[in-house]
Structure 1
Amino acid sequence: MAQEVVMPKFGMSMEEGTIVEWLVKPDDEVKKGDPLVTISSDKITNDLEAPASGVIIEVTANVDDTLPVGKTLAYIGEKGEKPEPGREEPQEEPQAQQAQSSSTQTEEEPKTNGRAASDSRHIKISPAAKKLAKSKNIPLEELTGTGPQGRITKQDVENYERPASEEPAPQTEIVPYAGIEEAVTKTPVRGMRKAIAENMHQSLQQSAQLTLMKKADVTDLLHVQKQAKQSLEKDGETVTLTLTSFIAKAVVKSLQAHSHMNSAYIEDTIHTYPHVHLGIAASLDNGLVVPVLFHAEHQSVLGLAESIQKLAEKARENRLDTSEMSGSTFTITNLGATGIEYFTPILNPPEAGILGIGSLQEEVVMIEGQPQARRFLPLSLTFDHRVIDGDPASRFLKDVASALEQPYQMLL
């Protein structure tokens, strides 16, 4: 009897998914656990593995189709077998198949010489590396894996050097624009990019956003961070104590003192939360995700650093579950690595506040009549004016800056 392959449920909040790419075609032989199809939800993109061994006897969903969880995508059976009619109503994914859905990697036996097999279904490669290779039009069989058991990593893709004669030409289309024909690149908006577009448009359309800006003198904080980082390294700790972990602690302490900032505007009602579920925006190759530090008020600076590090690793490897990216009450977004100072971050709906972090700036200031070089951190607070007025929002931002300027208080 043919085995149905159904739209999986990658996380508790997933209701539907979009077919990004079929990795197999009808009449292909597959083994249980082989990657069949790449699926994108509103937050993550994963490969779905074969629930059984056999032959792909029929594919019932096309690339770009968006289908509810439980909908039949394909059938696996014996060669020549005819599939029975699939389910018409979406159902919860069976636990067995959900367990077979891969959110971490696509793996089979590699060639013994360390080079990936020519059949893309038998290549050890992480989803992030596979996605990057596809965007660069790099054949997977040309890549050599340096990860565990020959697994191809994202770094392997980035280090790949293509012969000059093989550089792909950009895909363009000639279209008329203002009476002149121009070559343009067309990219369908789908998956994560579509979700981001819809959420950001909704955020601006359905809230009254205002941004306040202030800089914090973090000269002393940087000294504390450096000393603490060196101490942890001596003790053999693997946690990296970043500036972001101190910023997170400062924000959490300030949210506890200004509960109105830890709120959301939902259906003409202001919801104020007793706990701080802190979202940390993370940029990916194909978009943006916001993993959440739940009950952040119970964590020390070191605990926040460890949580941030783990979530960042999972984000880079596309291993975040949708439950880890839902339920934040306030968000931090950091553009410091790009050299940006101040900007106007867009609220992560339905939250009432988001703090943008800019690039460290060095300035000479007068202190007790003497010039001193100091390091300043630009802060940009966007808030929903339907929930908060300018004065309480400015006091919250002032407290965040004060906490960063008095780092030892955050360690107590």
Structure 2
Amino acid sequence: MAVEVVMPKLGMSMKEGMVSVWNKSVGETVNKGESIASINSEKIEMEIESPVEGTILDIKVSEGEGVPPGTVICYIGEGNEQAKEKTERDVQSKPKKERKKISPVARKIANSANLDIDTLVGTGPGGRITKEDVLHALPEQTEKKQNEPAHPPVNMMRKTIASRMMESLQTSAQLTITMKADVTTLTKLQHELNVTAIERYDTKLTITDFVAKAAILSLLEHPAMNSQYQNDRVETFDDVHLGIAAALDNGLAVPVIRQAERLTLIELARKIKSYGKKAREGKLQHDEIKGSTFTMTNLGAYGVEYFTPILNPPEAGILGIGTMYETPVYQEDELCKGTFLPLSLTFDHRVLDGAPASAFLSTVTSFLEKPASILL
């Protein structure tokens, strides 16, 4: 009996998911647990694995098409088996146009070249599009694209990010302030601790880890920053659920470290690295990207010093980390080399004013300039 593979529901608020790419074609065999397609919804991109061993009998949702959760996207069964009749869900979903016959090799070449399969004419048996048909169409498409402006498609993740950023700017009173922290002592401590951290925990401590710990400790001292504005009221949280923005090839994800105040520095560092890896691999679960109370974002790797982070609604604050730089400084009467870290704090002026926001950022800076206080 053919098995239905459906669009999963990745959270209560999910209304639609999109098949970004099919890794298998109709007629191809699959093993249980093998990836058959990639889907994305909101800020999550993940692989769909085959629930059984068998053959792809029918693909119901084409690449780039968005459908509600629970919609059948394909059928898997025995090679000589027919996909069962459409379920009520299928009837309610959008009508599907007739699929073009195309060989798996031809489909892969066409997809790699972003060639619209519907524009191809098949010369194979029964009008099947062959590899030669695709190769013949490539020069013609290349010439056409050279004469047309590029209009790259916007995926669902990009749409969601754009929508949330616009909502953030339009519904909050955002102001950004900056400070620089003298991290000369911190960088020396970081190198010393890494010898033990790598040997004992197989984890390398980064400046981001120290800033995260400093921000958490500062939020406990300044709880007004660990809050959100919703429905004309301010809600302040006892626990720090820290969001760490992670850049992806096709967008941005913000995994959330829940109750971060309970973690030691090494535990926090391991969480940050683990969630960053899951974000890049598209393996974050829906409950791992929601519920943050404060967010951090780092553009230091790109050579940026100060910038204007946009609030992650409905949070009241987001801390931006810039790139460290060295500059001559006086220590008493002696000229020395100092290392400084630029910090940019965006806060919601509806929740708190400039003075308490500055006090919070000053506390973060103080922790970084006296790093022993982070460890005690």
| TM-score, length basis structure 2 | 0.82
How far residue 264 of structure 1 moved from its aligned partner, in angstroms, is 1.0
Give the corresponding residue for 1:86.
87
- Please say if residues 240 and 309 of structure 1, whose CA atoms lie closer than 8 Å, have aligned partners that are also in contact: no
Give the corresponding residue for 1:311.
275
Inter-partner Cα distance in structure 2 for 1:274 and 1:302: 22
- Between 1:310-319 and 1:22-31, the stretch displaced more is 22-31
What letter matches 1:306 in structure 2? R
Give the corresponding residue for 1:327.
291
Indicate the SS of the match to 2:344: strand
Give the corresponding residue for 2:46.
46
Is the alpha carbon distance of 1:169 and 1:292 closer, same or farther for their aligned partners in structure 2, counting shifts above 3 Å? farther
Inter-partner Cα distance in structure 2 for 1:82 and 1:136: 31
Indicate the SS of the match to 2:240: coil
Identity over the aligned pairs, expressed in percent? 48
How far residue 191 of structure 1 moved from its aligned partner, in angstroms, is 2.4
How far residue 12 of structure 1 moved from its aligned partner, in angstroms, is 6.8
How far residue 303 of structure 1 moved from its aligned partner, in angstroms, is 1.6
Q: Does 1:206 align with 2:171?
A: yes
- Please say if residues 264 and 329 of structure 1, whose CA atoms lie closer than 8 Å, have aligned partners that are also in contact: yes
What letter matches 2:190 in structure 1? Q
- Please say if residues 246 and 253 of structure 2, whose CA atoms lie closer than 8 Å, have aligned partners that are also in contact: yes
- Between 1:6-15 and 1:210-219, the stretch displaced more is 6-15
Which entry has the higher C-alpha Rg, 1 or 2?
2
Inter-partner Cα distance in structure 1 for 2:145 and 2:32: 44
Q: Does 1:279 align with 2:243?
A: yes
Q: Does 1:251 align with 2:251?
A: no
What letter matches 1:363 in structure 2? T
How far residue 369 of structure 1 moved from its aligned partner, in angstroms, is 3.2
| Superimposed CA distance per residue, residues 283-323 of structure 1 (whole angstroms, 9 cap, x where no aligned partner) | 12221111111111111212211211221222232222121
Is the alpha carbon distance of 1:249 and 1:136 closer, same or farther for their aligned partners in structure 2, counting shifts above 3 Å? farther
Give the corresponding residue for 1:296.
260
Give the corresponding residue for 1:34.
34
How far residue 274 of structure 1 moved from its aligned partner, in angstroms, is 0.8
- Please say if residues 403 and 409 of structure 1, whose CA atoms lie closer than 8 Å, have aligned partners that are also in contact: yes
Is the alpha carbon distance of 1:215 and 1:303 closer, same or farther for their aligned partners in structure 2, counting shifts above 3 Å? same
Give the number of equivalent residue pairs. 337
Indicate the SS of the match to 2:89: coil
Indicate the SS of the match to 1:375: strand
Question: What's the RMSD between the two structures over aligned residues?
Answer: 2.9
Q: Does 1:192 align with 2:193?
A: no
- Please say if residues 203 and 270 of structure 2, whose CA atoms lie closer than 8 Å, have aligned partners that are also in contact: yes
Larger proportion of helix: 2
Indicate the SS of the match to 2:159: helix
- Please say if residues 14 and 69 of structure 2, whose CA atoms lie closer than 8 Å, have aligned partners that are also in contact: yes
- Please say if residues 212 and 394 of structure 1, whose CA atoms lie closer than 8 Å, have aligned partners that are also in contact: yes
What letter matches 2:158 in structure 1? R
How far residue 172 of structure 1 moved from its aligned partner, in angstroms, is 8.3
| Superimposed CA distance per residue, residues 325-372 of structure 1 (whole angstroms, 9 cap, x where no aligned partner) | 111110110111111110001111111100000011112223323322
Give the corresponding residue for 1:162.
none
How far residue 271 of structure 1 moved from its aligned partner, in angstroms, is 1.5
What letter matches 1:186 in structure 2? H
Q: Does 1:386 align with 2:350?
A: yes
How far residue 14 of structure 1 moved from its aligned partner, in angstroms, is 4.6
Which among 356, 362, 367 is matched to residue 326 of structure 2?
362
Inter-partner Cα distance in structure 1 for 2:185 and 2:33: 53
Indicate the SS of the match to 1:88: helix
Indicate the SS of the match to 2:194: helix
Inter-partner Cα distance in structure 1 for 2:5 and 2:234: 43
How far residue 386 of structure 1 moved from its aligned partner, in angstroms, is 1.2
How far residue 170 of structure 1 moved from its aligned partner, in angstroms, is 10
Unmatched 5+ residue regions in structure 1?
91-118, 121-133, 138-167, 176-181
- Please say if residues 35 and 47 of structure 1, whose CA atoms lie closer than 8 Å, have aligned partners that are also in contact: yes
Indicate the SS of the match to 1:373: strand
Unmatched 5+ residue regions in structure 2?
92-103, 106-110, 115-138
Inter-partner Cα distance in structure 1 for 2:196 and 2:374: 17
How far residue 89 of structure 1 moved from its aligned partner, in angstroms, is 8.5
Q: How does 1:40-79 map to 2 (within 5 A)?
A: 40-78=40-78, 79=80
What letter matches 1:5 in structure 2? V
Q: Does 1:345 align with 2:346?
A: no
Indicate the SS of the match to 1:249: helix
What letter matches 2:75 in structure 1? Y
- Please say if residues 304 and 323 of structure 2, whose CA atoms lie closer than 8 Å, have aligned partners that are also in contact: yes
| Superimposed CA distance per residue, residues 42-77 of structure 1 (whole angstroms, 9 cap, x where no aligned partner) | 122222122234443332222222222211112233
What letter matches 2:363 in structure 1? D
| TM-score, length basis structure 1 | 0.75
Is the alpha carbon distance of 1:169 and 1:267 closer, same or farther for their aligned partners in structure 2, counting shifts above 3 Å? farther
What letter matches 2:42 in structure 1? D
How far residue 38 of structure 1 moved from its aligned partner, in angstroms, is 1.5
Inter-partner Cα distance in structure 2 for 1:81 and 1:296: 52
Is the alpha carbon distance of 1:300 and 1:82 closer, same or farther for their aligned partners in structure 2, counting shifts above 3 Å? closer
Which among 362, 365, 372 is matched to residue 336 of structure 2?
372
Is the alpha carbon distance of 1:379 and 1:63 closer, same or farther for their aligned partners in structure 2, counting shifts above 3 Å? same
Which among 227, 239, 244 is matched to residue 203 of structure 2?
239
Inter-partner Cα distance in structure 1 for 2:216 and 2:194: 21
What letter matches 1:85 in structure 2? K
Indicate the SS of the match to 2:76: strand
- Please say if residues 2 and 81 of structure 2, whose CA atoms lie closer than 8 Å, have aligned partners that are also in contact: no
How far residue 266 of structure 1 moved from its aligned partner, in angstroms, is 1.5
